[in-house]
Amino acid sequence: MARREGARRGWTAVADGGLTVAAVLGAACIVLAIAAVLFDVRIVLFRTGSMEPTIPAGSAALVRGIPAADVGVGDVVMVEREGELPITHRVVAVAAVPGAPDARSITMRGDANATDDPAPYEVTHVRRVLFSVAGAAPVLAAAGSPWVLGGLTLAATTLIVVVFWPRRRRGVAASTDPAAGGDTGEGGTRRARRASGVGAAIVLVAGAAVFGAAPPARAAPVDTETIVQGEVIRLTSIESPQMRTLAPGTGAVWQVGVSADAASPGIITVSLAGTAAAPSPLRLEVSGCPVRWTSDRCPESAVLVADSAVPTDGTPRVLRTMPDDAQLWLRILVSMPSDAGPVVPEVHLTVRATGAGDAVSTGPGGGLAATGLGAPLGAAAVGVVLLAIGAGVALRVRRRT
């Protein structure tokens, strides 16, 4: 009997320790939540390497919101873009915006990039990077997994059951005091423990059910069509917004039309190149059509590049040569394998057409992955906070009894 009692006390001590750790984590989450509201801070995960070596791919950074007037050259800031993912690069130039005293036009460039971003950003508010931690992104991203949240809920419930499961003690009898209108002794203790355990478990399970649910659906963003006109050659870029928000097991299509209006007959050469700071797991397939693709259909399509890895070495790859009085419509399918890791380097694709004394190029705005992807930590943080609340209530009742 003594051995059994010792084992039970050992498990109870372990459970108490687990609940205490959960309470500390929950308190930390509460502090971070308050700081986020009072000081406009948040955590940002970097899936790409455009800020290497300052911020390697897979890093997590703490950022704080500041007015655009406080931005200076050399700052690393995150800019929110309407309809697109935010981008986090270093500021290389700041200019005033006429007629908007609170706004600034900032030019940015990734530390790993050779050129500035395609266009300046007019902003009134940005988020400045305070510091970053290399390698933290995969861990924090995994914290938002339903498996992690479910595991936390299950672990918390198990700990509560271990600590507060009603037990009969030898030599102690239950007594009641009718005048006081309540239970005393071990009977009251068991009831208090049982009530606290059940209440904490309900809080945890409800929290997991609410915050583990899928977010409300949003309206699907529309494709963006951009025309780049040279002296002779015209490129029409039709970009799907999913090109910059690829997830494992998904793909997106980028369509590029090539045409020319030359004074004399000539040949147009169309090529494709890609650059990245590191090899990418993304896959690519290119098809050509003499007319614009309609719902991914073409009466005379031809495969120009079979399924292969996305190029990242910057070397142009000739897709086709054609007369300058013809048209070529490229359908570029980019996909991310389902087994891709949480960190994918940013890739910039460029279609270039040369000939008839002209050269024109275009690419998806912002690349195939945006730097500064927000962390999916909201559900995990709230789940841990709920865990801490349940643990705190449970520990308080236990210590009083």
Full pLDDT tens readout for the chain, 401 residues: 556 666 666 666 766 666 667 667 666 767 777 777 777 888 888 766 778 889 887 888 889 999 999 999 999 999 987 656 678 899 999 999 999 999 999 999 988 888 888 889 999 999 999 999 998 877 776 665 666 666 766 776 676 666 566 655 554 444 445 444 444 444 455 554 444 444 444 444 444 444 444 444 444 455 678 888 989 999 999 888 777 777 788 888 999 999 998 888 899 999 999 888 778 889 999 999 999 998 778 888 999 999 999 998 889 999 999 999 999 999 999 998 888 776 677 788 999 999 988 999 988 764 454 344 444 444 445 555 555 555 555 555 555 55
Q: Check whether residue 92 and residue 153 sit in a common domain.
A: no
Kindly write down the DSSP assignment for every residue of 259-271, as one continuous string. EE--SS--EEEEE
Token pair recorded at residue 154: 């299950």
Tell whether 357 and 270 lie within a shared domain: yes
The amino acid occupying position 201 is A
Contact 359, 218 (CB under 8 A): no
Query: What's the number of CA atoms in the CB half-sphere (13 Å) around residue 74?
Result: 0
- Are both 259 and 357 inside the same structural domain? yes
In a domain, 200, yes or no: yes
- Angstrom distance (rounded) from CA 76 to CA 211: 32
* Residue type present at position 82: E
Q: Is residue 54 part of a domain?
A: no
d(CA 66, CA 76): 12
CATH, residue 80: 2.30.30
Q: Which residue has the tokens 């390697």?
A: 56
Please check whether residue 180 lies inside any domain of the structure: no
Tell which residue, 270, 362, 257, has the closest CA to residue 322.
Answer: 270
Residues 6, 154, single domain; the answer is: yes
Please tell me the predicted confidence (pLDDT) of residue 276.
82
How far apart are alpha carbons 88 and 123 in whole angstroms? Answer: 13
Claim to verify: residue 354 and residue 383 sit in the same structural domain: no
254 shares a domain with 119 = no
What pLDDT score was predicted for residue 104? 95
Number of domains making up the chain? 3
Quick one: which of 119, 148, 137 has its CA closest to 49?
137
Residue 53 placed within a domain:
no
pLDDT at 167 (0 to 100) = 58
Q: Do 127 and 232 share a domain, yes or no? A: no
Q: Is residue 50 part of a domain?
A: no
Do 237 and 258 have their domain in common?
Answer: yes
Examine the domain organization and report whether 155 and 19 are in the same domain: yes
Instruction: Give yes or no for a contact between 79 and 123, defined as CB atoms under 8 angstroms apart.
Output: yes
Specify whether 362 is located in the same domain as 228.
yes
As a whole number of angstroms, the distance between CA 401 and CA 397 comes to: 6
Q: Where are the alpha helices (DSSP H) in 165-300?
A: 185-211
Q: What are phi and psi of 366, to 5 degrees?
A: 85, -5
Q: What is the pLDDT of residue 193?
A: 47
Domain that holds residue 292: 224-369
CATH of residue 359's domain is: 2.60.40
Q: Is residue 80 part of a domain?
A: yes
pLDDT at 347: 84
Cα–Cα distance for residue pair 325/312, rounded to 1 Å: 32
In a domain, 43, yes or no: no
Sheet of 373-374: strand order equals 121-123, 100-109, 84-97, 76-81, 125-133, 60-67, 41-45, 373-374
My answer on whether 237 and 336 are in the same domain is yes
Residue 160 forms part of a structural domain = yes
At residue 366, what is the residue type?
G
> Do residues 365 and 384 both lie within one domain?
no
Q: What is the value of pTM for the model shown? A: 0.47
